Amino acid sequence: MMLSDVTVLDLTRALAGPHAAMMFADLGARVIKVETPVTGDDTRWWGPPFVGEGSRRESTYFMSCNRNKESVTAELKSQEGKDFLRRLVARCDVLMENFRPGVLDRLGFPIERLHELNPGLVVMSITGFGHDGPEGGRAGYDQIAQGEAGLMSVTGPDPSVPTKVGVPIGDLLAGMYGAFGVLAALHERRRTGRGRVVRTSLLAALVGVHAFQGTRYTVAGEVARGMGNHHSSIAPYGLFRTADAPVQVAVGSEALWRAFAPLVGLDVDDERFTSNEKRVAHRAELVGRIESAFATEGAQVWLARLAEAGVPAGKVRTLDDVYTWEQTRSQGLLIDVEHPTAGPIRLPGPPLRFDDNPYAGDREKHLPPPLLGEHDRSVRQWLDELEAGERS
């Protein structure tokens, strides 16, 4: 497995940090998740839905970001917990944390101390709004960050209804950026032998994906606003109603426009629509003309016609439709694991595949999200054996 020589100490909770750590676990790294005794990661209590009953009840939210990990418990404010953390730091390649700024320092593990214990340690720190700056100490929750980072202002039906993305996209993106930074730091460590600190935040991750909406302001001085399911710079490109269900169409070039226009009874040489710039300027009229044509038949008929003409188009699927879609299954995006209390469960799988491995991620067998403290004994035994070997 690609990262089988990497051990990650996962001090994170909720979603951003756990997602980053799970990305490493999916590629074969050993990920040791340290949780608070009794309560564990906050997301163990985020529900419904839960599976199981009583003390055997598990949160499906927790299951979404903790596969392929080991769970140990420690009270890091106690001396025993600090000693345990010190031993782990000395043996791991990566430490991931998403505490508020200053928490590790107060626990007695500032960056300088971490690198005294392990000079090659790569530390990944995810915060809400950055570790410094005038608002660096703010707590970071995804929906708040989506609003503060401008994402909600460009999402939704119109400027009066700012809308969050339907998943915690700030958390997920911060985790992805953090994991990417850690891999870069590990690569550098091969040359230098030294670890370094990788920092990102929900704010940074969300600003980092503003893409053309960002340069629209920084270069052109235009402030983007929510405009529903149509592209601000391309037309026709968006969601259109048919007789029974919506379809999405992406006419992203002049060649596609010439293939698309006759399907809906439009003249490709109509002066209002002869360039993308003109089509954007006359978007409302264009959308009305397209939907009038689409209203004559159902979605499946239109999708077949669009496919035959080579025009990119697609359904709007619900999640049950996605997870029963053969294309989803063919990509390894569903995995089956045996959970210690819930029994056989099916999880969304890793999004990466490699050419010499038919499985998603880089494992032949995926492990279920761990029970709280499931690996307390085995991890401590591992540390004991390593230290005994050094003494002998």
| 268 and 357 both lie in a single domain | no
pLDDT at 37: 96
Q: Is 288 helix (H, G, I), strand (E, B) or coil?
A: helix
- Domain holding 289, by residue range, is 237-241+246-315
311 and 330 co-located in one domain: no
Residues 193 and 270 occupy one common structural domain: no
Same domain, yes or no, for 160 and 304?
A: no
Q: Pick from 269, 293, 315: which residue ends a domain?
A: 315
- The reply to whether 155 and 297 lie within a common domain is no
Asked if the structure places residue 217 within a domain, the reply is: no
Q: What is the CATH number of the domain that holds 82?
A: 3.40.50.10540
User: Residue 269 has what pLDDT?
Assistant: 92
List all residues 6 or more positions away from 105 whose beta carbon is below 8 Å from its beta carbon.
none
Query: Looking at 105, 171, 356, 384, which residue is catalytic?
Result: 171
Confidence bin at 54 (pLDDT 50/70/90) = confident
DSSP at 230: B
What is the torsion angle, in degrees rounded to the nearest 10, for the CA atoms of residue 188, residue 189, residue 193 and residue 195?
110
User: Does residue 288 sit in the same domain as residue 180?
Assistant: no
3-state secondary structure of 201: strand
| Pair (266, 181) in one structural domain | no
Q: Is residue 216 part of a domain?
A: no
What gap in Å lies between CA 133 and CA 120, rounded to an integer?
28
How would you classify residue 3: left for phi > 0, otherwise alpha for psi between -120 and 50, otherwise beta?
A: alpha
Q: With contact defined as beta carbons under 8 Å apart, do 88 and 62 qualify?
A: no
Position 1 in a domain = no
Max alpha carbon distance in the chain (Å)?
A: 86
Cα 207 from chain centre: 15
Tally the domains of the chain. Answer: 2
Q: Is the alpha carbon torsion for 81, 83, 88, 94 positive or negative?
A: positive
Under 8 Å CB-to-CB from 320, ≥6 apart: which residues? none
Quote the mean pLDDT of the chain.
95
pLDDT of 254 higher than 90? yes
CA 141 to chain centre: 14
Is 218 a member of any domain? no
Question: Tens digit of pLDDT for each residue in 328-364?
Answer: 999 989 999 999 999 999 999 999 988 877 666 678 7
178: tokens are 């953090």
Residue-level length of the chain: 392
Q: How many Cα atoms within 13 Å fall on the side-chain side of residue 64? A: 18
Contacts of 375 (CB under 8 A, 6+ apart): 32, 70, 71, 72
* Domain identity same for 37 and 79: yes
In this structure, the answer to whether residues 178 and 197 fall within a common structural domain is yes
Nearest to 19 by CA among 167, 128, 163, 179: 179
pLDDT value for 360: 67
The CA distance from 304 to 350, in Å, is: 31
Domain end marker among 315, 338, 366: 315
The answer to whether residue 229 sits within a structural domain is no
Q: Do 89 and 189 reside in the same domain of the chain?
A: yes
Are residue 269 and residue 369 in the same domain, yes or no?
A: no
CATH number, domain of 288, equals 3.30.1540.10
277 and 184 inside one domain: no
Residue 183 lies in a domain: yes
Q: Any catalytic annotation for residue 93?
A: no
- Find the mean pLDDT for residues 234-258: 97
In a domain, 129, yes or no: yes
Predicted local confidence at residue 313, as pLDDT = 98
Last residue of a domain, one of 271, 289, 315: 315
Q: What is the pLDDT of residues 19-36, one digit of tens each?
A: 999 999 999 999 999 999
Position 92 pLDDT exceeds 80: yes
Residue 27 domain flag? yes
